[in-house]
Structure 1
């Protein structure tokens, strides 16, 4: 699959982080098909857009990224969720992995790490 064919949904309540992540992903060559500001909106966008990958923040109002990841995988067991976090709390990132996230992207974002994580997720290698 070519990079431009990889469809990504960004979920973060902070517009700044969505903009930074979108710019990084597009610079790498991926296609950002949408954005959401909370977990409930993420579920709606996922249903409508069917992205290959969802990059989800952990800390959001209303429905956080852990709850949204759990609900997303109940909706589609094949969903691929990467959780984005600036947290140093291992319990939060472990809770996201326990909910079904496939990996953790730490903020601030490093383009090479994003690329490698997505490549591994898509290829299984």
Structure 2
């Protein structure tokens, strides 16, 4: 599947890209903030987005809202070091399909992707 990776940290984009490619997916784009993510989503129409929360210009929560508003079927997995229940619930309310806490582990990312595309993802407890 085609994936858009969004994170302001280049090393984190590289790590997520590596994990996704090891799983057999293709990263078709990378963005370093929410504004770029919204723009790239509109142009690339990826099957999946991995999205950080805390980023400059536009945070991940606002980017998710904008992407989901224009593309209700968008599949977005939030990836953030902020794993408190309040933050997770805010991400889900914004339209995220799942939430993976950093430091990202390949197994947890793979589980989130598989659940989402097996039709079981969205609004699941991850803590």
TM over 0.5: yes
Which residue is 1:75 aligned to? 70
Which residue is 2:101 aligned to? 106
TM-score under structure 1 normalisation?
A: 0.92
Select which of 2, 5, 21 maps to 1:7: 2
TM-score under structure 2 normalisation?
A: 0.90
Select which of 26, 33, 39 maps to 2:34: 39
User: Paired residues, what number?
Assistant: 120
Name the structure where helix makes up a greater proportion of residues: 1
Give structure 1 regions of 4+ aligned residues with deviation exceeding 3 angstroms. Answer: none
Q: CA RMSD for the aligned pairs? A: 1.0
Moved more, 9-18 or 91-100: 91-100
Q: 1:90 offset after TM fit, Å?
A: 2.2
Which residue is 2:125 aligned to? none
User: Which consecutive residues of structure 1, in runs of 5 or more, have no partner in the other structure?
Assistant: 1-5
User: Which consecutive residues of structure 2, in runs of 5 or more, have no partner in the other structure?
Assistant: 121-127
